[in-house]
Structure 1
Amino acid sequence: MRTFLMLCLGCGLLAVACLAPGIGGGFVMDDRASIEKNAELRVDQLQGEELLRAAYSFQPGGGSRAIPMLTFALDQWRGEGRPEAFKVTNLLIHFVTVFVLACFARKLLLMAGWSPKRAALAALLVASVWGAHPLQVSSVLYVVQRMQTLVTLFMLLALWAYLTMRKAQMEGGRSRKYGLLVALFWALGLACKEDAVLFPAYALAVELTVLRFTAKSPRLARGLRNGYAAMTVLAGALFVLLILPRFWHWGPYPFREFSSVERLLTQGPVLFLYLQQILLPLPASMPFYYDNFRISHGLLDPPVTLFAWCCLVGLMVWAWRWRRDRPIFALGVFLFFSGHFITSNIVNLELAFEHRNHFPMIGVILAVMDLCVMALARVRRDLRLVRLGQICGGLAMLMLVAATMTRAYMWGEPMRLAAGTLRLAPQSERAWLMFAATNVDRSGFQPDSPWLESAITANSLGVEVTHSAVMQANVVIYKSIKGTASSEDWLSLEGLVARAPINVQNRGIAGILLNNVDGGLALDKNAVAGVLDVMAQRVDFDRDENLRIATFVYNETERPGRAFKYMRRAVELSPPDDPAIAALFGQLSSIGREDWVLQLRHSFPQ
C-alpha cells in the first residue's frame, strides 16, 4: 500500500508538471468580474467578518459557492492580486484530486472483483491520464473554474467514502461513520458549485453496475433498492413539476439565440464533441471559445445532429447491456452522462464549455481503460501483441503529456493565449475580444501607445469578421482616447446595435459607454445618447438603468427632452412608494419641471 501511495503522489506530480508552463498567464473571462474586480475579496486581515463577506461575494449565485470564494480571498491576501498566486493554488487542488482519484479508482476496481495488482495499475493509469489530459489546461489554469475543480475533488471523496460505507455493509460491519463522511463531502461540494447536487446520480450509477445493491443484511439490500427507486421517482417528479416549468422556453431564452428545444438538440453534437476531445486530445480541437458553435434547429439541421444523437443513444444502450459483464465500462458511460445532466439540459447556460468535462472525463477514461484491459486479456497468450499494446500505450501517454504541456505553454503568457486562441477560433467574437483586450492592456490606455493602435486595428478586423457591436463600441472608445473617433464610427455602432442579437455582451454596451463617460473619457455625448436611443428600442432596461440613462441624457446632451421617455419607463417599472422615484420627482420639481412630474405620476403600474 505504501508503494501505491507513493506512485499516486508521482501521478499528481506528473499532472502538475504538465500544467506548470501555464502559471505565468493572466486572468481571463469571468476571472475579471469574479476575482480581479471583486472588491469584496480584498481582505486586510484574516478576520471572521471580512472572510465571511468574501466567502459570500459570488453575486451571480446569490452568495453561493462560499468555499472557492473564500480561497480566492486568501489567494488575494497572500498574493496581492497576482494571477500566479491563484494558479498555484489551482495546481495544488489538481495535485490532491489526482491523488484522491487514484485511491478511489483502486477501491472501485477492487470492489468490482479485480486483483489487487491489476486494480492498482489500472487506478494509476486512470489518474495519470486524467491528470495530464489537455482539457485540464482550461479547467485548472482558468482560475475561476476552481469552483468546478473543487466540486470534482469533493465528489471523489464522497464516492470513496460511499464505497467504504458500502463495503462495510456488504461485510456486515459498521458503516455509520462513513455515511457521515459521505454527507460531509457532499455538503462541501454543494458549497463549491451546484453541480454537486448530482452526487446521488453518481452513487446510483455505482449501484447499477459495480455494487448491485448488495448487502449482508437482506433488509438493507431491499432498502437500498427501494430507496434509490423512490429517489429516482422523486427526482423525476421535481424535474417535471419544478425545473421544467421554470426553465423551459419555447422561444429564445433571455439574451440567447436558441430555445429549449434547440438547446437540447444542440447538446447532442456538443456531447459528441466532448467525447472526441477526450478520446483524441489534440490541442487544435480545443479552442476554449465555443460562442459560434452551430445551433441545431432540427435533427437534420445540421445533419450531424441526428448522427450525434444516434451515437450517444447507442453508447447508452451498449453500456446498459454490458452493465453486468463489464460493470466498469458501463459505470464510466453512466458517469459521463450523469456529469452532464445539468449543463446539457434545459437550464439557460451557454452551449459548450471545456471545464464541464472535469468530472465526466473520469467516466470516459474508466470506460476506455476497461475496454483496453478486455482487449489485452483476449490476446494475452500472444506476447508480441501484448508488448505492442504496451508500447502503443506508452507512446500515447507521451503524446498526451506533450499535448498538455504545449497547450499549457500557450496559456502561460497573455498574448500567446490571445493569439493562439484567435488562431484556433478565427470566427469567435470572444477570441477577437480577448486579442484586442490584451493589446489594450499593454497600452496602458496611453494615446500615443502603438499597442492602443493595435487594439483599434484588432477590434476593427473583428467587426469585419464577426459583425460585433461590442467590438465597434471598443473602436469608438479607443479612438476617442486618441481623439480620432469620427461620426462614421458612431453611425456604424448604431447600425450594429440595431441588428445585433440581444445577448449579455451586447446588452452591456450601454453600461460600457456610460462608465467611460463617468470616468471622464471625452466621448461624443450626443452620439452616446443616439446609441442608447437605438438600444432602448430593443432592450428592456431595468429601473436603475433607465434612471441612469435619463440623468445622463438630461444633464450631458444637447437634447435633454429625450430623457423623459427613460424616466417614464423607470416609473412604469416601480411601485408608487419607490424612494428612487420620489427622489426623481424631487429633483424635477427643484429645476421647475412640475409638468413632467404630473405626467410621470400617471405612469405608475396599475
Structure 2
Amino acid sequence: MLAGNYLGSHGRKVVAALMVVVLLAVYWQGLASPFVLDDFTNFKGLENVTDSVASFLSYITNNNSGILGRPVSMLSFALTYTIAGSVDPFIFKLTNLIIHIINGWLIYQLMQPLMGFCGYGDNKKNAALCVAVFWLFTSLHGSTVLYAVQRMTQLSAMFSLMGLWLYIQGRISCIAFGKGRKRILTAYCCVILATLSKENGVLLLLLFFMLEVTVFHYRGERGKSKILIASNVAVLGGGLLFIAQLATTENIPFLDYSQRPYTMLERVLTETRILWVYVQEIVLPSGVDIGLYHDDIIVSKGFFEPLSTIVSVVAWLVVIGLMGGMLVYKKYTLSLVGICLFLAGHLLESTFINLELYFEHRNYLPSLGLWIILIDVCVKVAEKSEYRAYLYVLASFILMINVYVICVESGLWSQTYKQSKLTVLKHPDSYRAQNQWAAELIKYERYADALKVYTAIGEKHKRLNPVSQVQKIWVYCMANLAPHESVYSFDIVYMKGADALLYNSAWLYLLDEVQAGRCEHVSIPSIIRNIEGWLRKEIVKEGGGDALWDITFVWLKLNEYQYGAENSLYKAEQIFALGGVKAGIYAVSRYLSMGLIKKAESLYQTIERAISAEKKEQYHEDMVIFSQRISAGK
C-alpha cells in the first residue's frame, strides 16, 4: 500500500468507507458523554436562540472566547441547537465527529497534489490516504472530538485545510499553466474564516509562506512570481510590526503572567519539553497523559531544572539544523513540510502567550505534520523491498495502538466516575483532577470521602486552600451535617485571574446551596461574620471595594437570606458610602425589584451626584435602565 499502487479507485473507496464505520464505532460510547468545563459557559444562552436573525446575532456576538469572539464557531453551535431543538451533548458531539471526518477527507484531497508535486507519481493517492487514516485515528484527538466546545479548534482546522488545498492547487496551476489565481485568492479568504473560528487560524498565512519556501520557491509560469514575493513580505512584515508593537505595549492581558505560577521564559522553556511529549503521544501513545487535566506539569525554572529542559532545547536545535540542511539541499521536501507544519501550528499556543501549559487539542492540525513525516519516511524505506514487511507491521502496530487508546478514552468519557478516578491516579498532583474527583464523590453521596479530598487539596495546593475551605462548607450543606466550629475559621483572600474564577465559583455554589435551603446545620451567621470582618479591613485598602465585588455580593445575599432584604440593602448602602459603586448599583436594582421606587430614586440621585465621570460612563447602561424604570414606576 505504501510502496506500490496496490489500491485502485474502488479499493480506496472501500478503505474510506471502512474507516468511517470504524470511527463511528470507536467514538460511539463517548458521544453520549455529558458536557464538561467550558462547554457550559459557551453554550449558555443557546436556549434563547430562535428562528429570528436577532436571536442568532445576540448569541454569536455575546461570547468572550478569544479576542475576536469566534463568531463562526458560535454560529455553528447556534445552528446545531436550532436543528436539534435542544442542547443535547450527543448531537453536539456527533456533529464534531462529522467535522472530524470531513477534515480527514480534506487532508486526503490536499495531500494528493502536494505529494504529486513532490515526486510521488502514481503512488500519491495511496500515500495521501495513509496520511488521512493515521490522522483520523490519532488518539490525542479524542478529547477534541468529545469535548464539544473544541469544535472551535476543529472549524479553524477545517478552514485551514480548505485554504491549504486551494493554495496548493492554485500554485501548481500557476506554475504549470499561469492560472490558479482565483483559487489562491479564495485560500486567503479561508484565513478569515479560520481566524473567526479560533484565533490561531491566522497561522494559515504562515503555512502559505512555509509552502513557498519549502515546496514552490515562489515559482511562476516564467521564473519567480514577484506578486507572491511582495505579498509574503507584506504579510510577514505586518506580523513582525504587530509583534514589535506588542513588545512595547504595557498591560496586555495575554502577555500578563502576574497571576501565573511561572514567567514567560519559564513557559517557553517548559513548552520545549511538552512539544516532545506531544510527539510521543501522537505517534506512539502511552495512554498515561491522555485527558483534560495537565495542570501538574513540572515547570522549567531554567535550562537545567529539570535536566530534561536542556535536552529538549538541544533536540529542537538539532531539528532546526536538519530543516536547514533539507532546505539548502532540497532533499526530503515532504518531511520538511511536515516539520514546519507541526512547529508552525504550535507557534501561538505553545510559545510566549499567557495560556495554560498543556492541552491536547493544540495538536489537532499540527499532528498532521508528524504523519506526513512518518508516511514520507515509510515510503522511502519501503522502496527497499527487504524492509517492506517490517514496515507494514510497524505501521499497523502504531495505528492499532491509536485505535485502542481512542476506544478506551471514548468509553471513559461516558463513565465520568471511572474517568475521574483514573485521572486522579494518573495525575495525583493535579488540582483540577482532584477537584473533579471530589465532585464525582459528592454526586454519589460519598461526602466523607469528598471532605478528605478537599482537605488533601488544601494541604497540597496552599495557594488554593481558600477555595477548598469554601467547598468543604457546601459539602456539609449537601450532606446535611453540622460542621466543626473550626470550619468557620476559613481564610478569605483577594484572588485574581484563573484562581479568582475558581474562588468566586465556590462562593456562588455555596450561596446556591444556602438559598435552596440545604444548609440547615451550617451556621450562616458565622460565615457572614467572617466575611464582614475581612471586608471591613479590605474595603478601605481597595478604595471602596469594587474590586472585591464578587465576595461582597455573596455576603449581601447571605445577609438577605439570614436577616432580610432591609438589612442587606442597609449594608449595601454603607459599602456605597465607602466608595463601592457596584454595591450602590445593586441596591438600586433590588429596591426597584421590590417596588420601593422612592428609595430607588433617592439612591439613584445620590449615585448620580457622587460618582466620577469615568464611573458614570462605566455604569451608563445601568443608570439609563434605572432612570426608565423609576419613571415608569411613579
Same fold (TM over 0.5): yes
Deviation of 1:198 (Å): 0.8
CA-to-aligned-CA distance 1:41-61 (integer Å, 9 cap, x gap)? 115643322233333342334
Which residue of the partner structure matches residue 298 of structure 2?
A: 294
Which residue of the partner structure matches residue 146 of structure 2?
A: 141
1:504 aligns with 2:513: no
d(CA) in 1 for partners of 2:182, 2:613: 59
Which residue of the partner structure matches residue 416 of structure 1?
A: 418
1:282 aligns with 2:286: yes
Number of aligned residues: 583
Deviation of 1:306 (Å): 1.9
Given that 1:415 and 1:438 are in contact with CA atoms closer than 8 Å, whether structure 2 keeps it comes out as yes
Given that 1:252 and 1:258 are in contact with CA atoms closer than 8 Å, whether structure 2 keeps it comes out as no
Deviation of 1:356 (Å): 0.6
1:93 aligns with 2:123: no
CA-to-aligned-CA distance 1:382-409 (integer Å, 9 cap, x gap)? x442212222222222222112212222
Q: Which amino acid aligns with 2:406?
A: T
338, 344, 352: which one aligns with 2:358: 352
In structure 2, relative to structure 1, the CA distance for the partners of 1:533 and 1:420 (3 Å cut) is farther
Which residue of the partner structure matches residue 447 of structure 1?
A: none
546, 553, 556: which one aligns with 1:548: 553
CA-to-aligned-CA distance 1:163-185 (integer Å, 9 cap, x gap)? 11111110124323313431342
In structure 2, relative to structure 1, the CA distance for the partners of 1:18 and 1:554 (3 Å cut) is closer
Given that 2:178 and 2:221 are in contact with CA atoms closer than 8 Å, whether structure 1 keeps it comes out as no
d(CA) in 1 for partners of 2:471, 2:351: 34
Q: Which amino acid aligns with 2:71?
A: A
Q: Give 3-state SS (helix, strand or coil) of 1:399's partner.
A: helix
CA-to-aligned-CA distance 1:269-305 (integer Å, 9 cap, x gap)? 2222222222321211324211121222222222222
Deviation of 1:68 (Å): 2.3
CA-to-aligned-CA distance 1:212-255 (integer Å, 9 cap, x gap)? 1111133x613322332332222111111136635669997253
In structure 2, relative to structure 1, the CA distance for the partners of 1:570 and 1:404 (3 Å cut) is farther
1:482 aligns with 2:479: yes
Where does the alignment leave 5 or more consecutive residues of structure 1 unmatched?
Answer: 444-449
Which moved further from structure 2: 97-106 or 293-302?
293-302
Q: Give 3-state SS (helix, strand or coil) of 2:273's partner.
A: helix
Given that 1:553 and 1:563 are in contact with CA atoms closer than 8 Å, whether structure 2 keeps it comes out as no
437, 440, 445: which one aligns with 2:439: 437
Given that 1:205 and 1:334 are in contact with CA atoms closer than 8 Å, whether structure 2 keeps it comes out as yes
Q: Which amino acid aligns with 2:117?
A: M
d(CA) in 2 for partners of 1:163, 1:584: 61
In structure 2, relative to structure 1, the CA distance for the partners of 1:29 and 1:602 (3 Å cut) is closer
Which moved further from structure 2: 397-406 or 57-66?
57-66
Which residue of the partner structure matches residue 267 of structure 2?
A: 263
Q: 1:178-197 residue pairs with structure 2 within 5 A? A: 178-197=183-202
Which residue of the partner structure matches residue 232 of structure 1?
A: 236
Q: Give 3-state SS (helix, strand or coil) of 1:332's partner.
A: helix
d(CA) in 1 for partners of 2:254, 2:69: 29
Deviation of 1:66 (Å): 2.1
Q: Which amino acid aligns with 2:525?
A: N
Given that 2:284 and 2:402 are in contact with CA atoms closer than 8 Å, whether structure 1 keeps it comes out as no
Which moved further from structure 2: 537-546 or 161-170?
537-546
Deviation of 1:503 (Å): 4.8
133, 147, 169: which one aligns with 1:128: 133
Deviation of 1:506 (Å): 2.9
CA-to-aligned-CA distance 1:469-495 (integer Å, 9 cap, x gap)? 333322211212333242546346427
171, 178, 185: which one aligns with 2:176: 171
What's the C-alpha RMSD, in Å, of the aligned pairs?
3.8
Q: 1:450-599 residue pairs with structure 2 within 5 A? A: 450-451=445-446, 455-466=450-461, 468-469=464-465, 470-488=467-485, 490-491=487-488, 493-494=490-491, 502-522=499-519, 524-529=523-528, 530-531=530-531, 534=534, 537=538, 542=547, 545=550, 548=553, 551-552=556-557, 555=560, 566-567=575-576, 570-571=579-580
d(CA) in 2 for partners of 1:246, 1:217: 48
Which residue of the partner structure matches residue 41 of structure 2?
A: 33
Given that 1:497 and 1:531 are in contact with CA atoms closer than 8 Å, whether structure 2 keeps it comes out as no
Deviation of 1:572 (Å): 7.2
Q: Which amino acid aligns with 2:310?
A: L
Q: Which amino acid aligns with 2:475?
A: Y
399, 418, 427: which one aligns with 2:401: 399
d(CA) in 1 for partners of 2:66, 2:414: 29
Which residue of the partner structure matches residue 64 of structure 2?
A: 59
Which residue of the partner structure matches residue 308 of structure 1?
A: 312
d(CA) in 2 for partners of 1:312, 1:156: 26
d(CA) in 2 for partners of 1:325, 1:249: 43
32, 43, 58: which one aligns with 1:24: 32
In structure 2, relative to structure 1, the CA distance for the partners of 1:391 and 1:265 (3 Å cut) is closer
d(CA) in 1 for partners of 2:386, 2:255: 59
Where does the alignment leave 5 or more consecutive residues of structure 2 unmatched?
Answer: 1-7, 616-634
Q: Give 3-state SS (helix, strand or coil) of 1:150's partner.
A: helix
d(CA) in 1 for partners of 2:97, 2:251: 35
Deviation of 1:126 (Å): 1.2
Deviation of 1:565 (Å): 7.8
d(CA) in 2 for partners of 1:191, 1:439: 39
Given that 1:429 and 1:462 are in contact with CA atoms closer than 8 Å, whether structure 2 keeps it comes out as yes
In structure 2, relative to structure 1, the CA distance for the partners of 1:493 and 1:371 (3 Å cut) is farther
d(CA) in 2 for partners of 1:202, 1:519: 54
Q: Which amino acid aligns with 1:56?
A: T
